[in-house]
Structure 1
Amino acid sequence: MAITIIGLDIAKLVFHAACCNEHGKLVQKKTLKRAAVLSFFTNMPSCIVAIEACATAHYWAREIERCGHTVKLIPPQYVKAFLVGNKNDYNDALAIAVAARQHHIRVVNANTIEQQDNQALHKARQLAIRQRTAVCNQIRGLAAEYGICISRSVSAVRQNIMVWLSDECTELSVLFKQLLFQLKEQLNMLDVSIGVFDEMINVTSKENAICQRLQSIPGVGPMIASAYFNEVGNGSAYRKGRDVSASLGLVPKQHSSGGKDVLLGISKRGNSYLRCLLVQGAKAVVSRAKKKEDKLSSWINHLVKTRGHNRACVAYANKIARMAWAITVNDTEYSAI
């Protein structure tokens, strides 16, 4: 019988394909070397190719779509439920194919090259920030061994290290000062790298029409707009704004049974980096709302009064995600009422 769906378990070098017919029955199993993947799909009749949405999946989705197939990227957490028997590559591929047949499972849209470029910028910036934090902690830890304790901020490290390196500081040895000088140079290099990444993100945001419209929302700057575009794209993968906020973990977790609805704290699912940025942007707006009287500020101030500052920040972060989706799909800008 004709093959209608292929579950592809991707890897670095060796790929495994489970080919199924329209009834979901396994017809063929195939082991593919990396170099032979695209030629295999070029020679196959058009069908649905299901891939787990993991590392390199977006690249393979774009390439396989060029071969004339329809690609479905399945979230990994939904594939696990359909794995039967021991875990191996063929069983994984078959589980991916079975999961792709379930109409209630939402698929992931393949990232465009522009989204992937922007995502790489954010990842590189995150790495530089983590490295800077590690260098600062190293400096603080070494200084503590000499009886010198300072606060944990990066600015405190910058200020104190200049004092320690000065000739007036006689508490530290010459060798240790040489070591501190090298660490200071590392810190300066990382500061420069972070500044370069920030500028690149600002430039790409200015060149992207969606990012420009998103920045009309209070609390959304180039960083948040760029990260939101990387995750959501043009918004076509979502039916409504609440689906976006739910995918980012900004809606309550539910634990209901027997007709009794129980709502807990936010689920914290999805992209934790974007969720963190949205909450930070929301905090900036909430902290300034107390001095304003417009409709949005009145809504925020009422939430702060009845539910507390932190819940109000999360609620507004949820609202940002929903408004951003509406702005993205409707090709409009934020308009205060």
Structure 2
Amino acid sequence: MAIMILGIDLGKNSCSIAGLDGSGNVVLRRRIQPKSIVSFASKLAPCMVAMEACCGAHHLGRLLAVQGHEIRLMSPEYVRPYVKAQKNDDRDAEAVAEAATRPTMRFVELKSQEQLDVQSLHRVRSRLVGARTTLTNQLRAILLERGVATAQGRSKLERAVDTLLADPAFLPDSRIRQLVCEMRDEWRELDQRITALDQEFAELARSHETTRRLLSVPGIGALNATALVAAIGDGTTFAKARDLSAWLGLVPRQHTTGGKPKLLGISKRGNKYLRTLLIHGARAALPSLARGATRPGEWLRSLLARRHYNTVVVALASKLARIAWATLHRGTAFEAGQSAAV
């Protein structure tokens, strides 16, 4: 039984595997526990192992790569069209194996443990920021129910709450005053945890040559740099800079029929977290870049003259993504005079 391609449908408690021979025929179907996959694959001759890029796939992929297997990870949305008829785990494994044989298939780069660790830190920070936003919105609503309206902005709400709590006449001997105090303490704790993570990202960005090069790009700080490297590594997965921008969903959606192209808003595909960071970075860098006597500055001033400000921000975010790819690909820091930056 010569297995050329081994498709694995990953699960928490059980996995399905499907083995294809050189002709693409299914010669093996089996249910197996996740902990037994490595020992099972060690008994096979080196072959192509295909999986969906989901939780645990990168860790398992590194273990199988040590055994000499070729690892191919794919986005689940690209595997779905190859599922035949009734969906079940066995057909999913077969679809994974078949999708990996397609010459036009797009594969996900196998990430190192360090990349996954940095991504985990970013996800924890994102969760904490979301929890803080939920907390402040609820606190604002509680105050509004007592006739206290606060201005927009987290810092203004923070000052207003501290001022109210410093006044003994504000809800004296009230359970709601105690509740507001508890929520304010929770807010401080969240701020401290987010600040600690920001400091950790800053140290990570300074300690690696790759992220230090990204810091030379306007609008890219420690958060953007570490998140980019954790997601795409050295950028070799993308053949050109525009591929990265398209993967991040920063390029227009296209609807073409009958030879008549129509460009719509940005596609918003890919990594939402990275796209958000790049857009925030572009919004912060736009004023200074637009004032510069450089080619990017001329380009931005021309866009601002005929497009909405937010449209220009997204266009700049797309360009920053392309500059970041060029910086990673060339292995050199960004210089404002580089032609690739325009």
Q: What TM-score range do you get, normalising by the shorter chain? A: over 0.9
Q: Note if contact 2:17-2:90 (Cα within 8 Å) is conserved in structure 1.
A: yes
Is 1:196 matched with 2:196?
Answer: yes
Letter in 2 for 1:110: L
Moved more, 289-298 or 309-318: 289-298
> What pairs up with 1:234-273 in 2 under 5 angstroms?
234-273=234-273
Secondary structure, in 3 states, of the residue corresponding to 1:36? helix
The match for 1:26 is 26
Letter in 2 for 1:332: T
Secondary structure, in 3 states, of the residue corresponding to 1:322? helix
Q: Note if contact 1:19-1:28 (Cα within 8 Å) is conserved in structure 2.
A: yes
Q: Note if contact 2:73-2:110 (Cα within 8 Å) is conserved in structure 1.
A: yes
The whole-number CA distance in structure 1 between the counterparts of 2:111 and 2:119 is 10
Letter in 2 for 1:243: D
Secondary structure, in 3 states, of the residue corresponding to 2:291? coil
Cα deviation for residue 147 of structure 1 reads: 2.0
Cα deviation for residue 53 of structure 1 reads: 0.9
The match for 2:315 is 315
Is 1:177 matched with 2:168?
Answer: no
Deviations 1:181-226 (A, max 9, x none): 1111111110000001001111111111111001111111111111
Q: Note if contact 1:164-1:177 (Cα within 8 Å) is conserved in structure 2.
A: no
Letter in 2 for 1:316: L
The match for 1:116 is 116
Q: Note if contact 1:255-1:264 (Cα within 8 Å) is conserved in structure 2.
A: yes
TM-score, normalised relative to structure 1: 0.96
Distance 1:167 1:258, change over 3 A: closer
Q: What is the root-mean-square deviation in Å for CA atoms of aligned residues?
A: 1.4
Moved more, 202-211 or 150-159: 150-159
Q: Note if contact 2:171-2:177 (Cα within 8 Å) is conserved in structure 1.
A: no
Gaps of 5+ in 2: 338-342
Deviations 1:71-107 (A, max 9, x none): 1001111111111011110011111111101110110
The whole-number CA distance in structure 1 between the counterparts of 2:157 and 2:294 is 41
Size of the aligned set, in residue pairs, is: 337
Cα deviation for residue 266 of structure 1 reads: 1.3
Secondary structure, in 3 states, of the residue corresponding to 1:115? helix
Cα deviation for residue 288 of structure 1 reads: 2.5
The match for 1:13 is 13
Q: Note if contact 2:290-2:296 (Cα within 8 Å) is conserved in structure 1.
A: no
> What pairs up with 1:45-56 in 2 under 5 angstroms?
45-56=45-56
The match for 1:40 is 40
Letter in 1 for 2:68: G
Letter in 2 for 1:256: T
The match for 1:303 is 303
Cα deviation for residue 152 of structure 1 reads: 4.3
Query: Which runs of 4 or more aligned residues in structure 1 lie more than 4 Å from their structure 2 counterparts after TM superposition?
Result: none
The whole-number CA distance in structure 2 between the counterparts of 1:257 and 1:107 is 28
Deviations 1:143-177 (A, max 9, x none): 22222222343223321222222244344543222
Secondary structure, in 3 states, of the residue corresponding to 2:108? coil
Secondary structure, in 3 states, of the residue corresponding to 2:28? strand
Q: Note if contact 1:163-1:169 (Cα within 8 Å) is conserved in structure 2.
A: no
Letter in 2 for 1:147: G
The whole-number CA distance in structure 2 between the counterparts of 1:54 and 1:184 is 37
The whole-number CA distance in structure 2 between the counterparts of 1:35 and 1:114 is 22
Letter in 2 for 1:215: L
Q: Note if contact 2:250-2:275 (Cα within 8 Å) is conserved in structure 1.
A: yes
Distance 1:293 1:172, change over 3 A: farther
Letter in 2 for 1:314: V
The match for 2:140 is 140
Moved more, 281-290 or 93-102: 281-290
> What pairs up with 1:74-223 in 2 under 5 angstroms?
74-223=74-223
Deviations 1:294-316 (A, max 9, x none): 22211111111123322221121
Distance 1:12 1:152, change over 3 A: farther
Letter in 1 for 2:304: V
The whole-number CA distance in structure 2 between the counterparts of 1:158 and 1:172 is 20
The match for 1:291 is 291
Q: Note if contact 2:170-2:177 (Cα within 8 Å) is conserved in structure 1.
A: no
Moved more, 75-84 or 157-166: 157-166
Q: Note if contact 2:38-2:64 (Cα within 8 Å) is conserved in structure 1.
A: yes
The match for 2:333 is 333
Gaps of 5+ in 1: none
The whole-number CA distance in structure 2 between the counterparts of 1:201 and 1:4 is 42
The whole-number CA distance in structure 2 between the counterparts of 1:164 and 1:123 is 34
Moved more, 42-51 or 277-286: 277-286
Distance 1:161 1:308, change over 3 A: closer
Q: Note if contact 1:234-1:329 (Cα within 8 Å) is conserved in structure 2.
A: yes
Letter in 2 for 1:263: L
The whole-number CA distance in structure 2 between the counterparts of 1:249 and 1:83 is 26
Secondary structure, in 3 states, of the residue corresponding to 2:16? strand
TM-score, normalised relative to structure 2: 0.95
